[in-house]
């Protein structure tokens, strides 16, 4: 009988210096960096399952991953142990045991992303790797109107990277909330799943609406056309944050506290 248990990690990371989550040859990834920390702390070479493949430069406040381990380190001490060897731009916030069949990616029923924009004539010095800078004023009322057209179940093939290989391009967006405080605009998007670059292309299209380049109603036409060229540009990765991953039985009940 084995003592291998399924361990879930809740991780915050600054994606600035990484090529994304997934392991690649000869470039630093978040996945490889955490795997190396687990090896150093537990002595085990594990397979680390991530909730999604985040792109280069993208950040996370609530990334989820899991791995099987026989470690005897108390689960409550594991974040401190891993953080002691991880670089300062990755922090394990919590660790917990999960049922054997829990999988960070396949058990997920949805995700919340946030795209952060610095909307001010001057570029930000303190948030330069955290926010996308748009110097011209954005019309938030028009953006919120446009956001309504994205909500619900739609074929998002006009809002994905051409290199996507997926079974279906239908996804459901539960909610888009756009808030502003001083120069910071936050676009929160919740949905059951997202195609490659989908959040960044939706946000690029919302910015086009905010700048008056297209009308909110145009979103319907672009969606129906399924033509990537008609949608807005893919906004850069450094404004995007994975905020939360949803599961039928959340491994961390007090996630947001």
The sign one gets for the Cα dihedral 83, 85, 86, 88 is positive
How many angstroms separate the CA atoms of 185 and 58, rounded? 17
Q: Which stretch binds a copy of itself (CB under 8 A): 106-114, 125-133, 186-194, 203-211?
A: 125-133
| 6-35 binders of a copy of itself (CB under 8 A) | 11-14
C-beta neighbour count of 204 within 10 angstroms: 19
Q: For 161, how many CA atoms within 13 A lie in the half-sphere containing its CB?
A: 12
N- to C-terminal Cα separation, the chain: 37
The yes or no reply on residue 125 touching a copy of itself (CB under 8 A) is yes
CB of 80 to a copy of itself, least distance (A): 8
**Quick one: CA torsion of 257, 84, 131, 177, rounded to 10 degrees?**
-20
Residues 6+ apart with CB under 8 A from 228: 157, 158, 159, 160, 162, 201
Nearer to a copy of itself, 7 or 195 (CB): 7
The yes or no reply on residue 200 touching a copy of itself (CB under 8 A) is no
CB of 21 to a copy of itself, least distance (A): 14
Nearer to a copy of itself, 19 or 205 (CB): 19
| 162-191 binders of a copy of itself (CB under 8 A) | 182
| 65-94 binders of a copy of itself (CB under 8 A) | 79-80, 83, 88-94
Give the 3-state secondary structure of 66-106. EEEECCCCCCCCHHHHHHCCCCCCEEEEEEEEECCCCCCCC
Nearer to a copy of itself, 67 or 241 (CB): 241
55 is catalytic: yes
| 40-69 binders of a copy of itself (CB under 8 A) | 59, 61
Residues 6+ apart with CB under 8 A from 68: 4, 5, 6, 7, 46, 47
Nearer to a copy of itself, 100 or 128 (CB): 128
Nearer to a copy of itself, 89 or 172 (CB): 89
Q: Which stretch binds a copy of itself (CB under 8 A): 41-49, 100-108, 126-134, 157-165?
A: 126-134
How many angstroms separate the CA atoms of 56 and 239, rounded? 11
Residues of this chain that interact with a copy of itself (CB under 8 A) are 11-14, 59, 61, 79-80, 83, 88-94, 120-126, 128, 130, 182, 256
Query: What amino acid positions are annotated as catalytic residues?
Result: 55
């Amino acid at each position: 009988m084995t003592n291998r248990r399924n361990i879930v990690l809740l991780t915050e990371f600054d994606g600035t210096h990484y090529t994304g989550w997934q392991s690649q040859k000869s470039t630093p990834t978040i996945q490889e960096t955490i795997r190396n920390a687990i090896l150093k702390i537990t002595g085990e070479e594990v397979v680390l399952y991530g909730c999604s493949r985040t792109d280069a430069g993208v950040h996370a406040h609530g990334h989820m991953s899991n791995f099987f381990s026989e470690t005897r380190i108390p689960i409550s001490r594991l974040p401190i142990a891993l953080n002691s060897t991880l670089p300062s731009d990755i922090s394990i916030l919590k660790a917990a045991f999960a049922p054997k069949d829990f999988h960070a990616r396949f058990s997920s029923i949805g995700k919340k992303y946030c795209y952060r924009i610095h909307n001010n004539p001057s570029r930000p010095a303190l948030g330069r790797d955290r926010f996308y800078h748009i110097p011209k004023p954005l019309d938030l009322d028009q953006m919120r109107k446009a956001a309504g057209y994205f909500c619900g179940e739609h074929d998002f093939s006009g809002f994905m990277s051409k290199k996507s290989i997926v079974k279906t391009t239908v996804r459901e967006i539960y909610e888009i909330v756009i808030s502003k405080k001083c120069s910071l605009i936050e676009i929160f998007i919740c949905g059951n799943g997202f195609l490659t670059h989908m959040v960044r292309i939706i946000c690029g299209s919302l910015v086009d609406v905010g700048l008056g380049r297209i009308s909110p109603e145009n979103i319907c036409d672009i969606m129906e056309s399924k033509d990537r060229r008609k949608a807005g540009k893919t906004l850069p990765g450094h404004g995007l944050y994975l905020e939360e991953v949803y599961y039928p039985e959340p491994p961390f009940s007090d996630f947001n506290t």
